[in-house]
Structure 1
Amino acid sequence: MTAHTGAQGVPAQWAALEQRQVPAWFHDAKLGIFVHWGLYSVPAWAPRVDHINAIIAKRGAHGLYRANPYSEWYLNSYRVPGSPSAKHHRDTYGDLNYYEFAKEFNTEAAQADLAGFARNMRAAGAEYVVLTSKHHDGFTLWPSEVAHPQGRALHAQRDLVGELGEAVRTEGMRMGLYYSGGYDWSVHDVVLRRLADALLAMPPQPAYERYATAHVRELIERYRPSVLWNDIGWPGGGDLSALFTAYYEAVPDGVVNDRWSESPTRRGPLNTLATRVGGRLIELLWPLVPRSLKKVGFPLPRHSDFATPEYQTFDEVRDDKWEQTRGIGHSFAHNRNEHAEDMIEIEDLIHGFVDVVSKNGNVLLGVGPAADGTIPEPQQRVLDGLGAWLRVNGEAIKSTRPWHVAEGRTDRGTALRLTQSRGAVNAIMLDRAPVAGQHVLEQFTTSTLPRKVEVLGCGEVPYRLVDGRLAVDLPERLPDSPAHTVRVTGSCP
């Protein structure tokens, strides 16, 4: 599979990027952990609301910014007049400036057991970890030598990027780095309240493009991340193809995501007015917009290795590689206002994970540590459940590829998701307690019996052909599990 790249007639560096293949390790990995950790981990607060795409569908951008479920957006949220976050901040912290959280964050993060954190992610079944090296607030988790455009000192005292990267690699995982190129409120301090602000909040200053490019080059040279994960967009006016080329030269099997669309290099008064008028018009017509369009989305960049739909799924196998991003709860960062019931159920997570993998995707699962690096118990419970399931069923997930169809059913109506690897096809039954006895796998049409059929974690089971379809006998008692894998080895259809 080739990486996503733009149209014909591009310069030589872009044309060379078009020839890149997504590396096998990223296809094999399936599960990454998305670590949101920063100053926002100190207040760790957002309103208890629905997930982001549900809010966008009901209330549009204005409703989202007023009641944003993402606690990592705390700096923006508490400055939206009348918002729940504004009330919380006033009641809890008075007029405290957000960046004064740095003192407490540095104190707490100094105690973080990063080796233990990495072991925890490995136990959950992760193959890679992506850390927010700099989120929209502009605070970096590494001691950058790049001067801030306004001379501000906004970085962690501890090199959290370097130390966590070392711990992650020690556990046999790959380390990736998130960077917010599209927003930096420490440089361009815009409070997002309306739809148009999503565009106007992107820093237009040429100095910011140089700053962001120098930051990312520093991250590449110092830490060699296997994943370069940008957010929102990228400031225009520079040479993004040269940045990508430098990255791939430093990390030949690295991958970049799809949120690198370059912003306009000029923004005059008329352009700003047109953006605001257009945004307001869309808000007025929002009830008429098709629901399929009411979701988090980003303009396509000129080049990427994989797409990153947020809390989204697909009906069919995708030709191009993709990665679903989602939190365990409705926030990526820790939200102390969320309750256990706001976390995704383990069964729902596993069923969704299996669905994504069957359609050529990975899952980048958001984990929000507290300021001291510990994982709150409601999140930890979900990670433990995911890890326990993968220890039994990992063969049906890791290093697999999509089969010729992703979805199927048995003759008893049990939903299946299908993957293949090493001469076997995996039929994953999305049922905690499928009925004992014969199940005909409707999609397995063949005239030749396979060599072996087994239920992972249980052992081999009897099988036969029924009207040209494979039938398997499930035992009376299966292990308690959110989903069960029937692995068919040998002559697969």
Structure 2
Amino acid sequence: MNRRKLLQSLAIGLPAVLFASKLSAFSNDDAAQEFVEKIIAGPFSPTWESLSAYQTPEWFRDAKFGMWAHWGPQCQPEAGDWYAREMYMEGTRKYKFHLEKYGHPSQFGFKDVINTWKAEKWDPEALVSLYKSAGAKYFMALANHHDNLDLYDSKYQKDWNSTKQGAKKDIVGGWAAAAKKHNLPFAVSVHAAHTWSWLEVAQRADQNGPLAGVPYDGKLTKKDGKGKWWDGLDPQELYAQNHQLSENSLDNGAIHKQWNWGNGVTPPGKIYIEKFYNRTIDLINKYNPDMIYFDDSQFPLWPVSDAGLRIAAHFYNKSIKEKGKLNAVITGKILDEQQRKAMAWDIERGQSNMIEPLPWQIDTCLGDWHYDRSIYNRKGYKTAPKIIHTLVDVVSKNGNLMLNVPVRGDGSIDELERRIVEEIGVWMKANGESIYATRPWKIFGEGPAQNNSPALTAQGFNEGKGTPFGEHDIRFAVKDKSLFATVMAWPAEGSVQITSLKEGSAHYPEKINKVQLVATGQNLKFERNANGLKVYFPAEKPVASYANPLKIS
């Protein structure tokens, strides 16, 4: 079958078994890698039409709050996110940091940073236990980042994975075992589809200074390693830079415009694509995650390849075959209305301004995605009140919150982060009833904050741009026959008026018999008239009174 006919068969939804057998037989003069890993047979085929029959499982809808260890060798320098890219960008903060700490990237590249990463203080069981005590109902671990190092015992990235290089540990395996011990659904985040263009900076050389024109290490090959610590290893298996630069590659910002594999990006080769496919199927089969987070627009490598659709079909079919029902979740970014039927929409560092018809997720972080010592030094982490306000707002709009707690290179978290996590846990223990297993109400809320909500840009990024929440901001959620109305600050005058619940309200025509403060279980005095439901708060504040759920029945 030639490639044109193969793609035609995909468009009409070739059954999964036949699809897998056809793909495994496909090869051409371009030396495309064989489709080694096969798709499990089942109701889903690797087409958008077939995958649009997906239904989000109830465990994800009930969980509401997950925690993430976005941790790998880029945390070792403790200099922040995208270190493996920006250390090759002359003149930037991370480039200057790298020169001072490690030396010039022609002599000490990211492969060498990996070699310094030992993860000597990593205790996955202790960290997952902490996160569960803070109220997390699922846990996610980084499986690979754009730096392309697999953080697991990878069959297809066999030389450049964390069991062979750096930490010399099965990172995903350790996290998975800890999640299982604590009975938490386990998720993995997969980012490596973009290494192809993201790491093109490693092909550069300085334009100024004494080493101007000396190439960085991005084009090194196996033969260049003789006598070095990486003797016998091929850096191209990691860097994937044996290809032509994309258009505008010298523009450091061009990568953002090319994230959808358009706007002049050099098309990824077949070997690269099929290796990513095989690596991800191997990850799924070996560690059995309940959820995959793809740091991609839609499925990875779409629309230049159907590899992501094949991965999704396999993942969904595997869940059905092994668990008797579809229990798997995949998240992706920048999805149109049709694509959101095939996977859950993820918003990075931002949130929707409306109740979404389908479950979705926000991902955000206490600091930077990879650990940044400067944020610790200036005490710049998000506070527990900020995280709880975000969670309450997201839940009111049919979403979940995934929170990353940055992990240091040695595998530990710092004392400031631990204190924030523990404070989140205090609020969740007192008020979790208003969060877990709830569903959105007829409206998500009222108050001035929603009138100044900034629009989403790209994959999100409207976080912190609106009006801060205050005592007049209310967020709603329902569970069984109870309505939860969370007042986003303790009212200064001792009472709050909820206009959406006024007498005769079309939203709540039923009689209100009881209002309780969830944190303490106290019955509160209230009055209902044509202006609203006025609730009188007690004289004594409960702990963590920066968000105060009321249970109305």
The TM-score with structure 2 as length reference comes to 0.69
- Aligned pairs for 1:129-148 within 5 A: 129-147=139-157
2:264 is aligned with 1:230: no
2:401 is aligned with 1:327: no
- Distance in 1 between the 2:253 and 2:526 partners? 57
Instruction: Determine what percentage of the aligned residue pairs are the same residue.
Output: 21
Against the structure 1 CA distance between its residues 484 and 179, is the aligned structure 2 distance closer, same or farther, given a 3 Å change threshold?
Answer: same
Against the structure 1 CA distance between its residues 136 and 447, is the aligned structure 2 distance closer, same or farther, given a 3 Å change threshold?
Answer: closer
Give the structure 2 partner of residue 84 of structure 1. 93
Q: Which stretches in structure 1 are left out of the alignment for 5+ residues?
A: 1-8, 46-70, 260-296
Contact 2:366 2:405 in 1 (8 A): yes
The one-letter code of the counterpart of 2:312 is F
Q: Which residue of the other structure, out of 220, 238, 245, is the alignment partner of 2:284?
A: 220
The one-letter code of the counterpart of 1:454 is Q
CA offset at residue 440 of structure 1?
A: 3.1
3-state SS of paired residue (2:379)? helix
Give the structure 1 partner of residue 29 of structure 2. none
2:111 is aligned with 1:99: yes
The one-letter code of the counterpart of 1:220 is I
CA offset at residue 469 of structure 1?
A: 4.2
Give the structure 2 partner of residue 166 of structure 1. 177
Against the structure 1 CA distance between its residues 169 and 75, is the aligned structure 2 distance closer, same or farther, given a 3 Å change threshold?
Answer: same
3-state SS of paired residue (2:375)? coil
Q: Which residue of the other structure, out of 13, 17, 26, is the alignment partner of 1:11?
A: 13
Give the structure 2 partner of residue 119 of structure 1. 129
Against the structure 1 CA distance between its residues 417 and 202, is the aligned structure 2 distance closer, same or farther, given a 3 Å change threshold?
Answer: farther
Superposed CA offset, 1:379-411 (max 9, x none)? 22221221111111111111111110111259x
The one-letter code of the counterpart of 2:539 is E
Q: Which residue of the other structure, out of 347, 350, 374, is the alignment partner of 1:337?
A: 374
CA offset at residue 231 of structure 1?
A: 1.5
Q: Which residue of the other structure, out of 407, 414, 430, is the alignment partner of 1:369?
A: 407
The TM-score with structure 1 as length reference comes to 0.77
- Distance in 2 between the 1:399 and 1:435 partners? 32
- Distance in 2 between the 1:197 and 1:148 partners? 28
Give the structure 2 partner of residue 483 of structure 1. 547
2:60 is aligned with 1:26: yes
3-state SS of paired residue (1:307)? strand
Contact 2:153 2:161 in 1 (8 A): no
3-state SS of paired residue (1:449)? coil
Give the structure 2 partner of residue 440 of structure 1. 497
Q: Which stretches in structure 2 are left out of the alignment for 5+ residues?
A: 1-10, 15-44, 200-237, 259-263, 320-325, 449-469
- Aligned pairs for 1:61-460 within 5 A: 71-95=80-104, 96-105=108-117, 107-109=118-120, 111-147=121-157, 156-184=167-195, 185=199, 186-189=238-241, 193-198=251-256, 199=258, 204-233=268-297, 234-235=300-301, 236-251=304-319, 252-259=326-333, 302=339, 304-329=342-367, 331-339=368-376, 340-409=378-447, 414-437=472-495, 439-444=496-501, 445=505, 448-458=510-520, 459-460=522-523
Against the structure 1 CA distance between its residues 299 and 377, is the aligned structure 2 distance closer, same or farther, given a 3 Å change threshold?
Answer: farther
- Distance in 2 between the 1:337 and 1:249 partners? 44
- Distance in 2 between the 1:211 and 1:426 partners? 48
* Greater mean deviation of Cα atoms: 96-105 or 20-29: 96-105
2:532 is aligned with 1:472: no
The one-letter code of the counterpart of 1:81 is E
3-state SS of paired residue (1:183)? helix
CA offset at residue 228 of structure 1?
A: 1.1
- Distance in 1 between the 2:402 and 2:352 partners? 16
- Distance in 2 between the 1:150 and 1:369 partners? 21
CA offset at residue 314 of structure 1?
A: 2.5
- Distance in 2 between the 1:443 and 1:97 partners? 58
Superposed CA offset, 1:178-231 (max 9, x none)? 111432243434777434334266761111111111111111111111111112
- Distance in 2 between the 1:104 and 1:172 partners? 33
Contact 2:89 2:252 in 1 (8 A): no
CA offset at residue 112 of structure 1?
A: 1.5
- Distance in 2 between the 1:108 and 1:181 partners? 21
- Distance in 2 between the 1:424 and 1:346 partners? 26
CA offset at residue 373 of structure 1?
A: 1.9
* Greater mean deviation of Cα atoms: 90-99 or 209-218: 90-99
CA offset at residue 250 of structure 1?
A: 1.8
- Distance in 1 between the 2:60 and 2:250 partners? 34
Contact 1:179 1:230 in 2 (8 A): yes
Contact 1:181 1:230 in 2 (8 A): no
Give the structure 2 partner of residue 275 of structure 1. none
The one-letter code of the counterpart of 2:383 is E
Give the structure 1 partner of residue 457 of structure 2. none
Superposed CA offset, 1:397-437 (max 9, x none)? 11111110111259x96210111112101110011454324
The one-letter code of the counterpart of 1:443 is S
- Distance in 2 between the 1:87 and 1:320 partners? 45
The one-letter code of the counterpart of 1:159 is D
CA RMSD of aligned residues (A): 2.8
Contact 2:73 2:166 in 1 (8 A): no
